[in-house]
Structure 1
Amino acid sequence: MTLRRSLSLVAAGAAAVLGLTACGGGGNPVGGGASQAPAAGDTIRIGSADFTESQLLAQIYGQALQAKGVQVEITPPIGSREVYYPALTDGSIDMVPEYTGTLLQYIKKDAAETEPDAVYTALQTAVPAPLTVLDKAAAEDKDAVVVTQAFAQQNNLKSIADLAPLAGTVTFGGPSEFQTRPDGIPGLQKTYGVTFKGYTALDAGGPVTVKALADGQVQAADLFTTDPAIEANGFVVLEDPKSNFAAQNVVPLINSAKASDQVKQILNAVQAKLTTEGLLELNTTANGADKPNLDQVAKDWLAKNGV
């Protein structure tokens, strides 16, 4: 079965579950369709990962483009990079919101760059045709090793290095792909000598991981630094003094054939407005008690920022 057909089946199932919405919070996809038939030549099909922030960014990009007359479709959430990146290369989708450091290490597993500008420069060279990246935003959302405040105090934990002596008693939780990514468990072992007792595959920075950490099912977990659940639960983000996690600035990854001058201008204008504080605010709003539609959250952000 081809990847295109596999993605089609995944998207069709997701569409049924989500009621043909473009995001977990509901609402209609920009462009009106979630079909995986090939997009028209002048249509940009935007995919996303299966976590809230990625879906919000897909909506922001899509709505900004549509407002300027660009034809856009937003697919239901696809999954991890291991699924959506091949969909980009085979033409099933045209664009996704990405993060510089993790994308660079996915493409070039021995990448050593960690600082924002160095990572972005290396990424521009590493991204293979027909893909390209547009401007990076100041907004950054990094993976982080997170523990509860009680566990940090009990074991005097301040940095990831402090986990090494007791890692043999610690179960780590996070998305399944974190077990094999270069900056995931292999990176923590190589950089800090941390070998955990076990690994529990959960979700990508979502409620399952948060609950497992809060309930003590896992003692340490991979969460995103712009996740409002960190502050809400009083979790502690362990310092990363050896930069196991490289800079992870938000960047659009797009098929060059769809990156016209107009499209670049529109998306780069969005990039110029995205900040780390803004990402946190977006995620907090999206995870509010009223559970707003993500397309409405994106629309409000665009209006607020004059894009």
Structure 2
Amino acid sequence: MKHYIRGTVVGLVAALSLTACGGGDGGDDNPLAGGGGDSSAITVGSANFPESALLGEIYAQALEGKGLEVERKFNIGAREVYYDQVVKGGIDVMPEYNGALLTTSVDPESKAATTEEINKELTAKLPEGAAILDSSTAEDKDSVTVTKETAQEHDLKTIADLEPVAGQMTIGGPSEFKTRQQGLVGLEGQYGLKFEKFQPLDAGAQATLVELLLDDEIQAADLFTTDPMIAEHGLVVLEDPKHVFSAQNVTPLVYEQGVNEQARTALNAVSAKLTTQHLLDMMKRIVVDKDDQEKVAEEWLKQNALA
């Protein structure tokens, strides 16, 4: 992204951080600040990217459909920001991705790769007061993605194929990608990749990453695998034979005292129905068709007999 990112893209990222994931009307409200809400309400949070906000909205509407009072605190930030809020009870329900949760916040040394292995470790290692509910089959992983032209030029099929050329490439992604095991740390440790440059962006700036990838301002990008723009632009997600990016099932992370049995049942019912294809379809509506996340969430719940 070189010089371009320092000007217009930084401004765009700043704007996205205010608007992505239901993040408000352009004001400067802190989503973690107390809003004078009812203490009996279940607080549902989201990270600062559109899919997380959509999942938060699905959870919130599912709970409201059971007559439970909900307070929304969306667009909070990265896991490094919101995880402690769940552990301390500032957030009661958070849409999570089980593999990333484990290796980012619970046990960075974990080698668990499958859904079963990951959830077993999370159940054993989460701090007292925090818990995971049922995982869905829906997954959204980080990836190393390149354009079709770059893949053809360097004969790239897997992440391992990048080793001879990574030193000539700029890779872009969310700022936290630089320090995560499921990020540059794992890519170097498992594949020996040392990129010429890392260009950090806000987690909500996936569209900007795609644009820069297509313009060859960056040559590789950490894109979420349910991003509809991957198929839209014929991008190539490189295979990950060494499993740097483990299973990433959508899973509710909860503060146990903040969710009663009725709430748990409602959230587990969402997980029982949610698939990766559902995520792809809903994210296309939000990212490409510009539908409101509230409408998309409501329609998905009705279609799956959850509303």
- Tell me which interval the TM-score lies in, with the shorter structure as reference length: 0.7 to 0.9
Query: Secondary structure of the residue that 2:209 maps to in structure 1?
Result: helix
- TM-score where L is the length of structure 1: 0.88
Paired residue for 2:187? 188
**Aligned counterpart, 1:8:** none
Deviation at 1:203, TM superposition (A): 2.9
For 1:224, what is the secondary structure of its paired residue? coil
Which residue in the other structure is 1:302 paired with?
301
> What secondary structure sits across from 1:282 in the alignment?
helix
Q: What does 1:221-260 align with in structure 2 at a 5 Å threshold?
A: 221-260=221-260
CA RMSD of aligned residues (A): 2.1
Partners of 1:275 and 1:133 lie apart in 2 by 18
Identity of aligned residues (%): 44
Question: Structure 2 counterpart of 1:163, which letter?
Answer: L
1:22–1:34: 8 Å Cα contact kept in structure 2?
no
Asked whether the equivalents of residues 46 and 93 of structure 1 are also in contact (C-alpha less than 8 Å), the reply is yes
Letter in 2 for 1:47: G
Contact 2:92–2:259, Cα closer than 8 Å, also in 1:
no
**Equivalence map 1:72-111=2 (5 Å):** 72-106=70-104, 107-111=106-110
Calculate the TM-score normalised by the size of structure 2: 0.88
Matched with 2:212 is 212
| Aligned-residue offset at 1:277 | 0.5
Equivalent runs, 1:15-30 vs 2, <5 Å: 23=22
2-side partners of 1:74 and 1:269: how far apart?
Answer: 20
Asked if structure 2 preserves the Cα contact closer than 8 Å seen for 1:34 and 1:73, the reply is no
Q: Is the 8 A contact 1:148 1:234 kept in 2?
A: yes
Paired residue for 2:68, among 65, 70, 84?
Answer: 70
Moved more, 79-88 or 166-175: 79-88
C-alpha displacement of 1:139: 0.5
Residue-by-residue CA offset, 1:159-205 (whole Å, 9 max, x unaligned):
00000011110111000000001111010000001110010012326
CA distance in structure 1 between the partners assigned to 2:246 and 2:21 by the alignment: 30
Q: Distance in 1 between matches of 2:40 and 2:67?
A: 11
Q: Which residue in 2 is equivalent to 1:112? A: 111
Partner of 1:11: none
Q: Secondary structure of the residue that 1:252 maps to in structure 2? A: strand
Residues 147 and 234 of structure 2 are in contact (CA less than 8 Å); yes or no, is this contact kept in structure 1? Answer: yes
Cα deviation for residue 34 of structure 1 reads 8.8
Q: Distance in 2 between matches of 1:194 and 1:177?
A: 17
The amino acid that maps onto 2:41 is T
> Which stretch of the first structure deviates more once superposed, 33-42 or 144-153?
33-42
SS at match of 2:244: coil
Provide the C-alpha distance between the structure 2 equivalents of 1:245 and 1:38, rounded to a whole number of angstroms: 39
Amino acid at match of 1:124: T
**Whole-angstrom CA distance in 1 between matches of 2:208 and 2:300:** 27
Give the AA of the match of 1:287.
V
Q: Residues 56 and 74 of structure 2 are in contact (CA less than 8 Å); yes or no, is this contact kept in structure 1?
A: no
Is 1:121 the counterpart of 2:88? The answer is no
1:36 positional shift: 2.0
Counterpart of 1:76, as a letter, is: F
Change (3 A) 1:37 1:227: same
- Cα shift readout 1:117-163 (whole Å, capped 9, x = no counterpart): 11111111121121110000011111110000000000000000000
Q: Distance in 2 between matches of 1:206 and 1:25?
A: 19
Q: 1:228 to 1:279 in 2, by over 3 A?
A: same
Judged with a 3 Å threshold, the aligned counterparts in structure 2 of structure 1 residues 192 and 56 are, in CA distance, closer, same or farther, namely same
CA–CA distance in structure 2, aligned partners of residues 79 and 297 of structure 1? 22
Contact 1:38 1:92 (8 Å CA) reproduced: no
**Runs of 4+ deviating beyond 6 Å:** none
Match of 2:43 among 31, 42, 45: 45
Name the counterpart of 2:155. Answer: 156
Q: How far is the alpha carbon of 1:261 from its aligned partner?
A: 1.1
Structure 2 unmatched ranges of 5 or more: 1-14, 26-30
